[in-house]
Amino acid sequence: MLSIEALILITGVLLLLGIVSNKFSARMGVPVLVLFLLVGMLAGSEGIGGIEFENYSLANGIGTIALSLILFDGGLRTPYRSIRAAWKPAGVLATIGVFITALITGLAASWFLQIPLMEGLLLGSIVGSTDASVVFSVLRFGGVNIRRRLADTLEVESGSNDPMAIFLTVGLIQVLTGAVPLGPGLLVLFLTQMVFGALVGVLVGWGGVWVLKNIQLSAAGLYPVLATGLALFSFGFAAAFGGSGFLAVYLTGIVIGNRQPVFHRGILLFHDAAAWLCQILMFIALGILSFPSRLLDVAGPALMISAVLILVARPVAVFLSVSLFKFSFRELTFLSWVGLKGAVPITLATFPMLAGLPGAPLMFDTVFFVVLVSAIVQGWTLPWVARSLKLEVPARLPPPVTLEISSLRNVEGDIVDYFVDDECRAAGHMIKNLALPDGVVVALIVRDEQIIPPQGRSQIQYGDHVIVVLRPGVRAMVDRVFAHRELDPVILPTALEFPLRGSITAADVEQFYDIQLGANPDATLDEIMRQRLSPKGVVTGAAVQFDRVVLYVRELSSSGSVHYVGMMILPTPEPEPARASQPTSDAAPEDEGVSPENEKQQDNEPAPPVSSGDDRSQEESDEKPFSSPS
């Protein structure tokens, strides 16, 4: 029995080796999973470390806790736009796709290993799902930059397909042990896993957001700890009622991450470190658990099973599952290749060992070998495959510096880093000419390695990182200013008033918001309002309509000029059905000024106040040339 001091020393050495291997992985393009497992194998009983470890129950516990925290971290970083863009294909892949993969791989395993069909299907179920920890690592840190929709589909699939794999694995083990008959009992198990897992995950997420925003802790470091407690509670509570803890903890992370609670950036940084720590410890522990000599014994059939899994089962599952979701052939081919396996199959492979199945050791060794082959062959070649299929998109370097709102109270504000590329609308303009709405401040410009304090005359140049502090309610307008010229612009919400400075010119408004005012381009909004309104009509609340845009006087200076203007986009009128000709009513000219008294007689309602809430519906699309909030 090793002393506690020796255990601490060994743990420290293994962590350091894991970090060094991660650096080597980044330089050589080797998936970090492979190196972590190799470090564990070298430290094991048949390696140079000589550490005796064959406790499958402990390994299962380590893997389960580590995976729950990795999934929670992945959920924290998954925006709602990714869910909206990919939930349909990802959901089909996470259920039907996993089933097809498990079925084909299971038949091959039964044939190549000469084991009963049910045991072969059990092995296929164990390796049927993609691994969230590996997919997150490869897509976010592995230098693979692919189209946003593909990345979203893979991330959401990997984060949500564990319930299907666990259901198939646990269900088949119960059938093999006689605990559950093959039939309706398995369907009930699956529905329980999915329904209770999803329900608990969402409820704990919403409750956790309320707690994080209202508890008002005195120490900032307690907020990440509270978030971790919510994650573990979500997993445990769902599992206690027969639901999928993995699905629950992933959904809890998504809800909390998108609502941006107090000390949000600190929570992200803490769980990023926790996820890396969990990956290192989990993969090294699973590597120590393996026996290289036993892996050589199953190398032949395991290679054949790997070939069927990679070249047949996953592609068939992808093409049958998601062909209807308007993916191109090249995209479907790429989805077929990214069936990365990792810690989930190895952790699930401990289930037959704990159940005492006679063929469990053979299954564990085969699964371990298949995971290694998948990680090396698919993970190592992933950048080359993306380039060959012409699915890569230009990578944007992260900003050299970041800003954050560090507050222990709930603050209605965002800090957004916009990257200015060659086609960004803001490129070449001075800050004072950007037509930014009220409540928006350009806080910092980062150019190359230099920090430039912004001024009104500061010019936005290609390659700049423009860091903006804004209220969530005006996010859509700022997104429009920094949008790509050739892409579809961000759609501004209708019937929502945006504040603009009266000194902004009509040309700037028309250029950045694609709005036609029909006025002198050099005229300011102040001048336009005073021209259209009578001298006595320039009062707070007066309005001028331009086609589908209404401008309201919201604040006057002491000299009588219009200091702030409220701009509201009117909804597009629906075409009216053809009717018999009727006498036309006298209507005010389209561009005529309307005083507050006359405005009450118009059909249009007064503008609603500017939203200051958290308008997450205006998340940027996957093609915008700017980054997500820091």
- Give 36-71 as a 3 state SS string: HHHHHHHHECCCCCCECCCCHHHHHHHHHHHHHHHH
Residue 576 confidence (pLDDT): 56
Q: What is the pLDDT of residues 106-128, one digit of tens each?
A: 999 999 999 999 999 999 999 98
User: Percentage of the chain surpassing pLDDT 70?
Assistant: 81
Residue 236 confidence (pLDDT): 95
More confident residue, 164 or 230: 230
**Mean pLDDT taken over the chain:** 80
User: Strand locations in 375-527, DSSP E?
Assistant: 414-419, 440-447, 450-452, 465-470, 497-501
Residue 556 confidence (pLDDT): 86
Its pTM stands at: 0.70
Kindly state the tokens that stand for 88: 């349909």
What's the mean pLDDT in 555-582? 72
Q: How confident is the model at residue 629 (pLDDT cuts 50, 70, 90)?
A: very low
Kindly state the tokens that stand for 428: 């070449």
Q: Return d(Cα 481, Cα 485) in angstroms, integer.
A: 10
Alpha helices in 342-391 (DSSP H): 343-355, 360-374, 380-388
Residue 175 confidence (pLDDT): 84
Residue 478 confidence (pLDDT): 83
Question: Of 75-84, 181-190, 319-328, 476-485, which range is least confident?
Answer: 181-190
Q: What is the pLDDT of residues 408-419, one digit of tens each?
A: 566 667 778 888
Cβ-count burial of 144 within 10 angstroms (0-12 exposed, 13-18 middle, 19+ buried)?
buried
DSSP-derived secondary structure letter, 379: I
Residue 135 confidence (pLDDT): 73
Residue 604's SS3 state is coil
Task: Report all structural domains of the chain as residue ranges with CATH numbers, in order of start.
Answer: 15-47+55-388 (1.20.1530.20), 397-496+615-630 (3.30.70.1450), 497-572+590-609 (3.30.465.10)
Residue 120 confidence (pLDDT): 93
Question: Is 210's pLDDT higher than 90?
Answer: yes
Kindly state the tokens that stand for 73: 């971290």
Residue 407 confidence (pLDDT): 61
Q: Return d(Cα 222, Cα 351) in angstroms, integer.
A: 35
Q: How confident is the model at residue 230 (pLDDT cuts 50, 70, 90)?
A: very high
Strand order in the sheet with 497-501: 497-501, 562-569, 549-556, 543-546, 593-594
247 backbone dihedrals φ, ψ, rounded to 5°: -65, -40
Residue 618 confidence (pLDDT): 36
Please compute Rg for the chain using Cα positions. Answer: 29
Question: Is 405's pLDDT higher than 60?
Answer: yes
Bridge partners for 528 per DSSP: none
Q: How confident is the model at residue 141 (pLDDT cuts 50, 70, 90)?
A: low
Question: Is 247's pLDDT higher than 70?
Answer: yes
Question: Of 47-56, 65-74, 97-106, 396-405, which range is least confident?
Answer: 396-405
Q: Would you give the distance in Å from CA 467 to the centre of its chain?
A: 21
Tally of residues, the chain = 630
Q: Return d(Cα 523, Cα 531) in angstroms, integer.
A: 10
Return the C-alpha torsion angle 34, 39, 42, 43, nearest 10: -140
What's the mean pLDDT in 560-573? 79
Residue 252's SS3 state is helix
**Contact between 165 and 344 (Cβ < 8 Å):** yes
Q: How confident is the model at residue 619 (pLDDT cuts 50, 70, 90)?
A: very low
What's the mean pLDDT in 34-49? 82
Q: Report how far apart the first and last C-alpha atoms of the chain are (Å, whole number).
A: 47
Residue 238 confidence (pLDDT): 94
Question: Is 289's pLDDT higher than 90?
Answer: no
Residue 113 confidence (pLDDT): 92
Q: How confident is the model at residue 447 (pLDDT cuts 50, 70, 90)?
A: confident
Bridge partners for 9 per DSSP: none
What's the mean pLDDT in 593-612? 40
Question: Is 22's pLDDT higher than 80?
Answer: no
Residue 507 confidence (pLDDT): 85
Kindly state the tokens that stand for 33: 């999973």
